[in-house]
Amino acid sequence: MGKPMAKNLLAAGHELVVCDISTTAVAEFTALGARAAATAKEVAEQVGLVLTMLPNSSHVRQVALGAGGIIEGAHPGLGYIDMSSIAPQVSREVSEALDAVGIPMLDAPVSGGEPKAIDGTLAFMVGGPQGLLDSYREVLEVMGASVVRVGEIGAGNIAKLANQMVVGLNIAAVAEALVFAQKAGVDPDAVYQAIRGGLAGSTVMDAKAPMMLDRTFAPGFRIALHIKDLTNAVQAGHEAGAPVPLTAAVLEMMTVLRADGREIEDHSALVRFHEKLAGIELHRPGQADA
């Protein structure tokens, strides 16, 4: 995700200082004109805005507050936007620590996956001060088609968790319905075509049903990452006193797939869970059951 987002910033004329655990990725960007830094501190010292796109809460906490982190590179005028999908409480903790040294922060996770990261049409869900978002909106709009402030710091990640809940449940429902249709003797592709234009239709259905039918599970968004998000959602739900039983059920389905070694596959592979229960393999007409 971070690589195409950064490339869009370069293409828009922004100067970048990059840091990554992958030396290959860093070399790719220096060849494009970016400057390299060895630590997040070195990045912060050279820029007016630090952007991070990291896997989970622990990584953001380390990059922002750990040894060699952003906090050690504090200087007047420095701002920080974390675009990772993490636990909302961690966003608040990091923001509080950075604010103490004069670094204001936005949490701005995204939706859209790698395809929308590549074409610059991500949806940003932003938490933090309105004035700060106004200052940096142009940067986010280089990478996204939608930038919406949903509240104070941490609210961006609450919105992202809600997004992941809806996406996960939608994928599970599509998978269950298509497996049901085939098991009942009806062409699942015909069912998909019949219902996609009605109330059941959705962006998720149109993105994931063809992948299930074609059995193409190369990751746009890995099951392992969706497990991370839904785990955070269940925890945040518990903390807020908001039960999330459907989310918990989908999390357990994905956990079964991780136990089967499928965690690096796209989350459309949720269909494998329903196939296992029904004892069939989803396919288009003319293909044989496995």
For 68-221, where are the alpha helices, taking DSSP H only? 88-99, 113-119, 130-143, 155-183, 188-195, 203-214
Report how far apart, in Å, the C-alpha atoms of 104 and of each of 7, 49, 68, 123, 129 are.
25, 10, 18, 22, 9
Q: Which two tokens stand for residue 76?
A: 């007047």
**Active-site residue, selected from the candidate residues 7, 41, 160, 208:** 160
Distance CA 114, CA 92 (A): 27
Check: CB of residue 64 under 8 Å from CB of residue 97. Answer: yes
Residue 77: left (phi > 0), alpha (psi -120 to 50), or beta?
left
Whose CA is closest to 257, among 271, 236, 237? 271
Which pair of tokens denotes residue 163? 């997004």
> Under the phi-then-psi rule, with left for phi > 0, alpha for psi from -120 to 50, and beta for the rest, what region is 268?
alpha
Active-site residue flag, 276: no
Residue of 75, 210, 55, 236 whose CA lies nearest to 154: 236
151 strand-pairing partners = 127
Nearest to 83 by CA among 144, 15, 10: 144
Closest CA to 5 of 199, 183, 145, 131: 145
Question: Do residues 14 and 139 make contact, with C-beta atoms less than 8 angstroms apart?
Answer: yes
DSSP annotation string for 72-92: GG--TT-EEEE-S---HHHHH
Catalytic residues: 160
